[in-house]
Structure 1
Amino acid sequence: MAALGQPAPAHTAFAEARFLQVLDRPLVVSGELSWLGGDRLQRRVEQPQKETATIADGEVTQQRDGRSPRHFSLKRAPQLQVLLDSFVALLSGDAARLQQAFEIRQHGDTGGAWTLTLVPRDARVAKTVASIRIDGYANASRCMHMQEADGDLAVDLLGPLAAQMPAAPTREALEALCRSAP
């Protein structure tokens, strides 16, 4: 955990494919994720349309081009609280915070590849988010999979891997990318 820690602010490119049961194909967005220090995260989407979501001081603010900002309490979005806890704990190297919020399963190989599977401890949160799996190599996270309790799945390719998001991603293609050597 300590090796994953980074000083704030920390920024990384991302490309996300959301596989929703109600859609025939995944929604794909890309942009930049930022940890601004403390419990402050920002997600800037550049494609397909610009949008910024910021979590700070227990509040979420969403801003889309041409619209007024929307604010709501983080308590209304347990999946965002889970993301906040996991990102902040990983980026700050805070193993205690991660263990407080999640049951953690670790797996690694001698080649430097590793996987962390995080299962929310809070039963209320687990009704929304079943698990988060983070695949990495050495001291860098490469992919994050958020499995929702209803079967929906979001797969984020992180850092340099984000540029490799397929035009028409499938779960299988993303799994292969996440498990490939850098």
Structure 2
Amino acid sequence: MISGKTRLLLLSLLLPLWASASASEPAAASSSAQALITALGQPAPAHTAFAEARFLQVLARPLVVSGQLSWLGGDQLQRRVDHPQQETATIANGEVTQQRVGKSPRHFSLKRAPQLQVLLDSFVALLSGDAGRLQQAFEIRQTGDAAAAWTLTLLPRDAKVAKTVASITIDGYAKESRCMHMQEADGDLAIDLLGALAAKMPAQPTREALQALCQGTP
């Protein structure tokens, strides 16, 4: 069984999506949402800067980290944290590797956390623009204009997954994802600012300030 700290790290690494097989055919996302997801697809390797604020109920202030998220193709993902301390987490070939400066690498199989394997599968589906694969795991809702500001809300179909993550929301503008919000079932929340927006992470972020940044015009 993986620890809570490791689970949080991996959920951040795999943020924001996962796919699972369904015995019944799920209702299709709207045509506009499918077109938007297709437009978000990109070739590998793909890299983006990120800054994340994690609001935990047990802490008075959010935890803030920043670095780079990378999709290296296939099921290979990497999350490199540069601040406040250097740390890299990589997923490749069904194995997770965690590396910290001055310490030996830690390895473990995703088989120890099958829901994270599901998350990995759907993250790849999103990055490759595969709306059909994505909707196997999520009810997909879109608001806004795909040519301007928009929001995608993803609600997990699998009850077991929903016990960990209640919803994932992606804010964007045109073909660019600007923010990702992961609302965990226990009330904790992670908000990631992506790309150029990452440099605008406040020194003392609040949920309200980050929401304003996410929904602002580039």
The TM-score by the shorter chain falls in which range?
A: over 0.9
TM-score by length of 1: 0.94
Counterparts of 2:39 and 2:211, CA distance in 1? 24
Q: What residue identity is the alignment partner of 1:164?
A: K
More RCO (CA 8 Å, sep 6+) = 2
> Which 5+ residue runs of structure 1 have no aligned equivalent?
none
Question: How many residues are treated as equivalent by the alignment?
Answer: 182
Cα offset, 1:30, TM superposition = 0.2
Correspondence for 1:142 among 173, 178, 181: 178
> Is 1:112 matched up with 2:148?
yes
Give the 3-state SS of the residue equivalent to 2:135 in structure 1. Answer: helix
Cα offset, 1:88, TM superposition = 1.5
> Is 1:153 matched up with 2:175?
no
> Which 5+ residue runs of structure 2 have no aligned equivalent?
1-36
Give the 3-state SS of the residue equivalent to 2:178 in structure 1. Answer: strand
Cα offset, 1:87, TM superposition = 2.8
Alignment of 1:22-101 (within 5 A): 22-77=58-113, 80-81=116-117, 83-101=119-137
Correspondence for 1:133 among 161, 169, 176: 169
Cα offset, 1:138, TM superposition = 0.3
Cα offset, 1:86, TM superposition = 4.2
Tell me: CA distance 1:133–1:94, structure 2 relative to 1, closer, same or farther (3 Å): same
**Partner residue, 2:38:** 2
Q: Does the CA contact (< 8 Å) of 2:146 and 2:173 recur in 1?
A: no
Cα offset, 1:85, TM superposition = 3.7
Counterparts of 1:93 and 1:110, CA distance in 2? 14
Cα offset, 1:2, TM superposition = 1.5
TM-score by length of 2: 0.79
Counterparts of 1:83 and 1:25, CA distance in 2? 27
Q: Does the CA contact (< 8 Å) of 2:75 and 2:124 recur in 1?
A: yes
Cα offset, 1:84, TM superposition = 2.4
Larger Rg: 2
1:105-161 Cα distance to aligned partner (Å, 9 max, x none): 111237611111111122111111111100000001000000000000000000000
- CA root-mean-square deviation: 1.6
